Amino acid sequence: MEQKKLTKGKLLNVFGNLEDTGYATTLIREYSREDIKASKMRIKEWDYYYIGNNFYGIALTIADNSYMGIGSVSVLDFRDGFWKTKSTLTLFPNGKTNLPETSKIGDCHFKSGKLEISFFNDGEKRRLVCKMKDFLKGKDFNCDVSLVDESTDSLVIATPFIKKKHFYYNQKINCLKADGKATLGEKVYNFKTDDSFGVLDWGRGVWTYNNTWYWASMSGKIGDKTLGFNLGYGFGDTKSATENMIFYDGEAYKTEQVTFRIPTDAKGKDIYMNEWLFTSSDKKVELKFKPILDRCDNTNLLVIKSLQHQVFGRFSGTLICGEKTIVIKNMLGFAEKVKNCW
C-alpha cells in the first residue's frame, strides 16, 4: 500500500471538502471551524489526554460536539482493576467552548456543575488542571500534571468520508513525559517523567452518523529510549493512508493496515478480557495484548448512542522500526472498540 503524505495548506477547500488527504508527522494543514460547510450541528471538536504509568492512569476530555458539550474524568488503577469515569454534559455549546484550531498552542476550559477542567498550552509545555467535587462516594478528584519533552513527530491524518463535506482530521501525540499528581480523596497518584507518559488525541471534524472505530495506543520506555505507537482504523475512506505509526526515540515509522483480532464466543460476541492479537499487513506490528480492565461505557439516549470498550492491558511482541526489530514485553497501553451513533 502506497501511503500519501499531506502537503501544507488549508484543510478545507471552498466547498468544505478536504483539500488534501493522507498523513503527516506534524499538523501541517490549517483547520478553521468557519471553513466547514456542513451543518454546524454536526461539527465535532475534542481534546483527550491520557496520562499513566505501570500502576495507574487518568484521562481527561474536553469536547464540543455542537449540540452537546462534554467534560469527562477517568481514574484507573491497574493494581486492583479499579476504574471510575464521570462525565458532565452541556447542551448546544455550538463552538463556544473555544477549543483551539491548532494543537500547537492555545488553552481551553470546561466548567459545569461540580467539574472544572483546564488545558493550558503555551507552545512549550502542556499543563492539565482539573477538579471535580464528589467524584466517588463524597471524595473529590484533583489533578495538576505537566507534559514536557514533546517529540517533533506525531501521527496526523486527514480522512474523508464518502459523504461530501464530512471529514476526520486527527493528531495523536505519544510519549509525552508527565510530571505532577492526581488525588482522589486521600489517595495520591504521582506521575514522574522517568516512568509516566501521556498521549494527546486531538480531533476536529464532521462525521457521518454511524461509525465503529478501533484504536490502540502505548507510550513508554525500552532501555533509555522512548517507545510508543498509534494503531487504528474505522473512520472514513483510508485509501490514502492508515492511522498506524510507531514512535521510537522521537522518530516516527509508518506502518500499513493493522488488524485488531478480538476474541469472540460461539455466537460471535466480543470477549474483551481475553487475549487480543494485533498484526499489520507489512509485518511491522506483531503483538499480543493481555487485558487488565475494561472501561466500558454504554450511553443510549435514543438518537444518541455510544458503546465504548476501552481495554487497558499489557502488550508483548515485536515492532519493526526501519532496520531495527524491537522486542517488547508487558508494556502497558490500551486498545478500544467504540460504536457511536451521533
List pLDDT tens digits, range 102-135.
999 999 999 999 999 999 999 999 999 999 999 9
Per residue in 140-149, is it b (16+ CB within 10 Å) or e — as a string? ebbbebbbee
Residue 2 domain-assigned? no
Q: Binning pLDDT at 50, 70 and 90, where does residue 341 land? A: low
Count the helix, strand and coil residues of the chain and give each as a percent rounded to the nearest 5.
0, 65, 35
Q: What is the DSSP string of 105-150?
A: S--EEEEETTEEEEEEE-SS-EEEEEEEEEEETTEEEEEEEEEE--
What's the average model confidence in pLDDT over 242-249?
97
**Tens of pLDDT, residues 153-175:** 999 999 999 999 999 999 999 99
47 assigned to some structural domain: yes
- Percent of the chain with pLDDT strictly greater than 90: 91
Query: Where does the pLDDT of residue 340 fall: very low under 50, low under 70, confident under 90, or very high at 90 and above?
Result: confident
Domain membership of residue 182 (yes or no) is yes
31 is a domain residue: yes
| Positive or negative: CA dihedral 2, 232, 331, 274 | negative
Reference 28, options 9, 47, 45; nearest CA is 9
- Domain for residue 4, yes or no? no
Residues 6+ apart with CB under 8 A from 273: 291, 294, 311
Query: Residues with Cβ < 8 Å from 8, sequence gap 6 or more?
Result: 28, 29
CA 281 to mean position of chain CA atoms: 23
Is the pLDDT assigned to residue 181 strictly greater than 60? yes
* pLDDT mean over 53-81: 96
162 in a structural domain: yes
CA distances (Å), origin 149, targets 79, 128, 247: 28, 15, 14
The pLDDT of residue 300: 61
Q: Is residue 33 part of a domain?
A: yes
The per-residue pLDDT for range 301-311, each reduced to its tens digit, is 555 667 899 99
In a domain, 3, yes or no: no
Quote the pLDDT of residue 1.
Answer: 73
Take residue 9 and report the three cell numbers written for it. Answer: 495548506
Beta-carbon contacts of residue 137 (< 8 Å; ≥ 6 apart): none
Residue 342 scores a pLDDT above 80:
no
Q: What is the mean pLDDT of the chain?
A: 95
| Number of domains into which the chain is organized | 1
Structural domain span for residue 66: 9-341
Instruction: Kindly state the percentage of the chain with pLDDT values over 70.
Output: 97
